[in-house]
Structure 1
């Protein structure tokens, strides 16, 4: 049997020749051992009843440094930082910090604090596009895992975001999550070991699940609901609403029914993420909030009571970017966005202008006599579809004009709902990029009308050249300017045919070394992701995309400019497109002079003599943008936008009596000539103003400005002290690499590792390539790899520095465990001691224990009056002493051995140091528990005696 003292959590033991720390175990016969400085993946489970004699667990402790460990004091800080940076279980209130590969911004901790205030986490996080909702969610995830609150989780997201989430979890949390969707299930099932009760949902603890895979079906949804993981995170939650205003079956409705069933379990942890929680319809907004708390569905958000405001504010957070850019006096490097209009004219290209006039004439002349109102409206939709296609590009116009599928389609009954909403005006959450040919086909056009369309199609195909298309020529010229400056643009188009056409033109117009690709919904999610990743390898690249990429997917690390080739008829789509690159994590771009630029250039192409473009841009988009810039709130017109746009389209295009009044000789819109347009202007302005007031009211309540930065600042500072901040990491990697003989060179944006003469373990940990460009910055500059504290190279570097220091046989090139030197920094003999301290943190209410580690500096001065202890701040100041002057080796050994003789008498002081530190931690946990309203109490139990990692004696320089 093993001695009971060797089974206590936090105890340092030796097993099979390796130094380990005993971890808490729920099974009294199972001993969990974690290699000192190792990761959770290296944990060893020892079943005590079958433990062999030669496998015995032995008591262990760090040997005190002796004179053989004497070395240069300039490397002492390396040992201190190596230990700090290797810690994964920290002692402070935020348990997750040691497990993160990044340092979160202070404002990103607010949702975490909100989550910890709840017994069961239920949150709707609706921060602005590009603020970092993914990071905010994974902070909550990691914290709940570390506290033992959850043991499993699932991220529900649209299928095209699965790989992105899997990568975020791997890169930032070192969590290997499986993707569950139709293409992966078979492979996952083959790996399941066990009986027939196991399936992908209860076998794998960490999952990224396609919401479309589990939203329906007789087996998939029930299987998931039977074994819902402890925490569910829902990304793009606005696509999972139910419509309370009128019942209608939709994809969103199916997703909502799934979430509604998940949320019914009152013990289920649930986090919803969306940048657009309010679509303009109160019912959909309430349905989202109803998932976190069913009471919220009955609230009148235009007239909330104080009690209701407080209740909702506890579970809903929505902040604009400008409100958090300097939160906690911490500069957050959001890029600066500049937007400019890029006007072109159809009339300057006579052939294209003639085609446009012919299509307009056809649209106005479609015969609607003697048919029902519904069928007449479908013909109207078909006319609009044709006009929009021709306005987008001659290629899209050709696709629509020449296709005829009605002969092979079955008759489709047209419902009242379908003709009420104009399908040509995209919904606020719609990402369709098809040419909507089915609408034209269902318009029941006559043979003469089809013959006319076929003739127009031939005219359109003749215009697909840069010489005859002013729009594509102007767009190509802008793209060329960006490429020459060193930028990587995205061109957003409305239709598949337009995207393919623009990409083809650009390939002939731009140099051959520019990688140009068109990505549309014709490609699968996997194919889109692969093509984008391939493009990242090309120094010069242009992505031509449809709105299938305008939502959710992050492109900021690969692209930094946007050209809106087609104006969306829903203004919310502009912000969603630009949010793909204008977001936290945008690394910027290097111009031709080698200067790093942190700007996002946006150009908006519009036809000056295209009445629809002018109305959309001048009356709707510019009004919304002005209000958003001045008020700081996002405005969603939602489906009300369809009715407004419908009126605009009718007024401008399909009223032949007013055609002459709408245009001057230059075909430019003159709003002063139409009383109806003036009325529309007023109606749109009122609509926008109503949306603004609603958004402003919601944001003012739920921005959580009541959480004061000072309440977070102290805990963040303590975390940085315990595990090292970014500056600590950078200084350590450079100094430790140099000590071990690596060749590191500073370059603009970061550093370069040259693998010449580098040890094999270092070269392997850095990855492939002879020269490795790396940076400690987040966002990381383009072309550099991010080196965070949990990177494999940093972990191994820390372990190697510590191991070399403890190796008494090793001579030179190691961090000093002991040093004696002269310095001007002290006036009397002073001793510094590096303690490696372990604490067992116990959460009483859950009987959950965790072993944490931290470095603690302690020191004392020897004076004729006695020994005086130093503060932690003074010790850190002395540790950074750079003017260390050598003294003879013999003299060092004499002084050091004499100092070690004091240690026996100082043993009670060492115990008191650790006890005082544990009391400080208790106070910190108590303060934090009080702050988050927690009733549970956490005990901090020090593991004694503390390990002594280093001892350093500072001798004052003799005064001359």
Structure 2
């Protein structure tokens, strides 16, 4: 006997839904109310006598199902929140633990416009807008549409765990991490010689693990259909790139050459200001773009690129479709300090030494000149970072001194080790190799030894005014409720400052302050563990180097950024501040301060030439443009204004006695003008490129309509909140109380859940259940972003899922703690007898071209006035009227149970006469779904799910008779 997909059957003492099967001899069954993981197959030719399958009719409500009418809302919500296969055009929404914002669906739509052909997409939204969420939407939708079976996320090593967690939490996808410390274990779990890249369907892979020639070739041979490349700018191909970055580029480039390879690139910084790097990224989308001159490209090339490239700034999405996306206000400011007399004297000595090196370098050529300049700059930067970094740098130089001038390289290899590189973390160790390779004479050696001792004596807040000012500022922030992250350039500075903070900043009022230091010396898992553990401390300060400035999410635990060391590349500003100021930050305001020395020539140049201009642009335009192509302007300015300027030496010498303003060096004025001109061009180019992108052509209102329908069909976060907060006390006697609102909650409703009376299965789905003494209270929230310290309960959270399943099972088995499947009440909400019905309908959605089928579920509310069998006035309610009655009707009088039972039976006897009307409800809804799929097909310029067939009869899940009050 053949069973149609979506039909209800009984087998092995249980009710099942028949699922589509490509093999007519294999009957696939999913438990009624169950999920995909519970699907069972019965091979019909070999089935045993116990595997007999019979057609089954879903039982309607009976007198034993009578209960309180208000709990009908709980039954309705429990059913729709348990659905994992919605019938709308977006197939994945019912399987996500979050409700995406409308603008986050745009990259998905652009990807679907290309499917089933190879998807090529560069998602370059601003830092903190939500590229991870957008990528997960693409992954999940393509999986649900069965366009792909496998995927890999290729990312920087320190982001692997974060991606694994995001995939698990947001999409329920269990991905393995593939890198050097996991490969052997994963290999052992695979039978035979199958590579891990083929065996595991969902992967998170370290790009630095697979970029080598041998591993790259194996991965490319077995790569999954979809590859997401995170922080894709680190795989660009700049001129003069190091071998390591060339390997990254070749990996992704070779992937892009695979004809059917889906490839999605993610980066907040696609354009570093260097056209060759940008074009190398675009060439991964289409080889022809490697030589594309975007401003002068043909209209056809611009339109082609627009279909593959999406880029939105915050100002583009904050009010998209009228939907408020809560980004915090960034309070950007500066904090200054003055060097102590002791530090001023050391600065003067180091400046003199640096100037001597620079002067000698000016007499040389090529690599020799570069190394002398870089040595001088590194010395100054290290000493002004902290006395600890300065001493370490000088010790390294002293240890590596040659017996004579030594032989120097003729050319520098790779990027400048002093200038912060574009975006990518380029190390937080002091550049000892550069220092050691510059020639130095005997008198300078002696000065080094003396300076090391002097710097070591300055490592306290009485002589290190920079540290003292930072501690004063941090104390004020903590008193105001901010949780700061301090970014330092060098490990030595971070370690030194962290030690001072632990000594000097122990308490604020009655509360202890927790201080942690994170640098690249720590393994990735140690960094994450330290950061995660800090969330439990009410007052916390994180000291970090730029190893945390890229990709790491810090918005849940921190609300302020202090740039202890000024970055010498302004692109690093946004990377640092974007760790905290991003989507998901619930604080209304985040602070971002630059700490600089008032009498420090280097800080003055960096601020004046670069950083203030960047902040001025962001304040005026709301966008961050990439650092212009001439990224060594700051070095030229520092060289001219400090190292090659005799006035700088006299200023440093006199600064110990009085403050003298020599005015701005001519070279600084020149570099300011050059940078300003370059930025003006960059802004014009940004405006031009923003007008090209395809997201502007998407019919946003139609996307919003489908999202609203999905919210209604499967339940939005507000429905989850209403369901949980009503069901726990009403049916299980569990207390959950709403907390007073706070500014830091971002408008979200937060609750305290008291766990003492929770059933064991529900308690086990919450954090802390495995503890010897589980907590009796839990702070929970139903909105995303979730405030700090609260646990998010979304529709796909195991707790919510099990609560839905428990209530549905209780209702079907007539238990006392169950929502009512039937009720008879008197209410002033109606003037004549009115009957409401809750239908659960299964729809078979068929892809027209391949005949591939999917089974989706929906809840429908339907109702009528009067008696359809009596010949009297009989009116069918509109869906809106029925919905309002279910949600708002208030019972005003109880009926004796025998009377209620008889009235319910009378209503049940009417149902056979209404079967044609029921079927019309189902077919009308199916027609609307077809319209939605067709509309979506037009939006994505493709889309093939167009045939929707309801499975009849629908399940009558609930029946409720509303009577007018007695007159």
Q: What is the TM-score normalised by the length of structure 1?
A: 0.94
Q: Which residue matches 2:601?
A: 611
Q: CA deviation at 1:413?
A: 6.0
Say whether the 8 Å CA contact 1:611–1:668 is kept in structure 2: no
Q: Which residue matches 2:637?
A: 648
1:607 to 1:382, Cα distance in 2 relative to 1, 3 A: same
1:415 to 1:105, Cα distance in 2 relative to 1, 3 A: farther
> Quick check: 1:704 aligned with 2:703?
no
Q: Which residue matches 1:745?
A: 737
Secondary structure of 1:445's counterpart equals: coil
Q: CA deviation at 1:373?
A: 5.0
Unaligned runs of 5+ in 2: 741-748, 769-774
For residues 910 and 138 of structure 1, what CA distance do their matches in structure 2 show? 38
Say whether the 8 Å CA contact 2:424–2:550 is kept in structure 1: no
1:321 to 1:372, Cα distance in 2 relative to 1, 3 A: closer
Q: CA deviation at 1:27?
A: 2.5
Q: Which residue matches 1:594?
A: none
Secondary structure of 2:114's counterpart equals: coil
1:296 to 1:820, Cα distance in 2 relative to 1, 3 A: same
Q: CA deviation at 1:411?
A: 8.2
1:207 to 1:667, Cα distance in 2 relative to 1, 3 A: farther
1:412 to 1:640, Cα distance in 2 relative to 1, 3 A: farther
Q: Which residue matches 1:794?
A: 800
Say whether the 8 Å CA contact 1:318–1:703 is kept in structure 2: no
Say whether the 8 Å CA contact 1:405–1:438 is kept in structure 2: no
1:282-321 equivalences in 2 (<5 Å): 282-321=275-314
1:594-743 equivalences in 2 (<5 Å): 598-637=588-627, 640-642=630-632, 644-659=633-648, 672=663, 674-702=665-693, 704-738=695-729, 739-743=731-735
Say whether the 8 Å CA contact 1:841–1:938 is kept in structure 2: yes
For residues 268 and 503 of structure 1, what CA distance do their matches in structure 2 show? 47
Q: Which residue matches 1:368?
A: 360
Deviates more, 1:263-272 or 1:628-637: 628-637
Q: CA deviation at 1:248?
A: 4.4
Q: Which residue matches 2:552?
A: 553
Secondary structure of 2:41's counterpart equals: strand
Q: Which residue, out of 188, 194, 200, partners 2:196?
A: 200
For residues 408 and 391 of structure 1, what CA distance do their matches in structure 2 show? 26
1:867 to 1:437, Cα distance in 2 relative to 1, 3 A: same
Q: Which residue, out of 10, 17, 25, partners 2:13?
A: 17
CA displacement, residues 212-251 of structure 1 (integer Å, 9 cap, x when unaligned): 1111142x111100111011001000000112xx454532
Q: Which residue matches 1:592?
A: none
Q: CA deviation at 1:669?
A: 8.1
Q: Which residue matches 1:591?
A: none
Q: Which residue matches 1:877?
A: 884
Say whether the 8 Å CA contact 1:434–1:496 is kept in structure 2: yes
For residues 411 and 790 of structure 1, what CA distance do their matches in structure 2 show? 66
Deviates more, 1:58-67 or 1:72-81: 58-67
Q: Which residue, out of 157, 166, 170, partners 2:168?
A: 170
For residues 669 and 839 of structure 1, what CA distance do their matches in structure 2 show? 81
Q: Which residue matches 1:268?
A: 261
Q: Which residue matches 2:810?
A: 804
Secondary structure of 1:852's counterpart equals: strand
Q: Which residue matches 1:527?
A: 526
For residues 175 and 14 of structure 1, what CA distance do their matches in structure 2 show? 30
Q: Which residue matches 1:917?
A: 925
Q: Which residue, out of 374, 392, 401, partners 1:399?
A: 392
Say whether the 8 Å CA contact 1:279–1:636 is kept in structure 2: yes
Q: CA deviation at 1:64?
A: 1.3
CA displacement, residues 909-940 of structure 1 (integer Å, 9 cap, x when unaligned): 21221111111111111111122111745211
Say whether the 8 Å CA contact 1:563–1:603 is kept in structure 2: yes
Q: Which residue, out of 478, 482, 491, partners 1:487?
A: 482
1:774 to 1:669, Cα distance in 2 relative to 1, 3 A: farther
Q: CA deviation at 1:272?
A: 0.5
Q: CA deviation at 1:446?
A: 2.3
Q: Which residue matches 1:593?
A: none
For residues 829 and 717 of structure 2, what CA distance do their matches in structure 1 show? 27
Q: Which residue matches 2:26?
A: 30
For residues 673 and 372 of structure 1, what CA distance do their matches in structure 2 show? 28
Secondary structure of 2:958's counterpart equals: strand
> Quick check: 1:436 aligned with 2:442?
no
Q: CA deviation at 1:121?
A: 1.6
Q: Which residue matches 1:332?
A: 325
For residues 665 and 941 of structure 2, what CA distance do their matches in structure 1 show? 61
For residues 921 and 701 of structure 1, what CA distance do their matches in structure 2 show? 33
> Quick check: 1:824 aligned with 2:828?
yes
CA displacement, residues 467-492 of structure 1 (integer Å, 9 cap, x when unaligned): 11100000011112222233221110
Secondary structure of 1:641's counterpart equals: coil
Say whether the 8 Å CA contact 1:427–1:638 is kept in structure 2: no
For residues 406 and 260 of structure 1, what CA distance do their matches in structure 2 show? 40
For residues 830 and 620 of structure 1, what CA distance do their matches in structure 2 show? 72
> Quick check: 1:71 aligned with 2:67?
yes
Secondary structure of 1:26's counterpart equals: coil
1:3-14 equivalences in 2 (<5 Å): 3-5=1-3, 8-14=4-10
Q: Which residue matches 1:252?
A: 245
1:471 to 1:673, Cα distance in 2 relative to 1, 3 A: closer
Secondary structure of 1:541's counterpart equals: strand
1:456 to 1:146, Cα distance in 2 relative to 1, 3 A: same
| Aligned residue pair count | 935
Q: CA deviation at 1:376?
A: 3.4
Unaligned runs of 5+ in 1: 589-597
Q: CA deviation at 1:835?
A: 0.6
Q: Which residue matches 1:137?
A: 135
For residues 123 and 37 of structure 1, what CA distance do their matches in structure 2 show? 37
Say whether the 8 Å CA contact 2:568–2:634 is kept in structure 1: yes
Q: Which residue matches 2:903?
A: 895
Secondary structure of 2:76's counterpart equals: helix
1:19 to 1:668, Cα distance in 2 relative to 1, 3 A: farther
Q: CA deviation at 1:662?
A: 6.9
Q: CA deviation at 1:428?
A: 1.2
Q: CA deviation at 1:954?
A: 1.2
Q: CA deviation at 1:668?
A: 6.7
Q: CA deviation at 1:362?
A: 1.3
Q: CA deviation at 1:751?
A: 1.3
Deviates more, 1:852-861 or 1:884-893: 884-893
Q: CA deviation at 1:579?
A: 0.4
For residues 931 and 586 of structure 1, what CA distance do their matches in structure 2 show? 32
Q: Which residue, out of 186, 189, 192, partners 1:191?
A: 189
Say whether the 8 Å CA contact 1:671–1:677 is kept in structure 2: no
Q: CA deviation at 1:422?
A: 4.2
1:417 to 1:667, Cα distance in 2 relative to 1, 3 A: farther
Say whether the 8 Å CA contact 2:608–2:672 is kept in structure 1: no
> Quick check: 1:502 aligned with 2:497?
yes
Say whether the 8 Å CA contact 1:661–1:673 is kept in structure 2: no
Q: Which residue matches 2:862?
A: 858
Deviates more, 1:139-148 or 1:533-542: 533-542
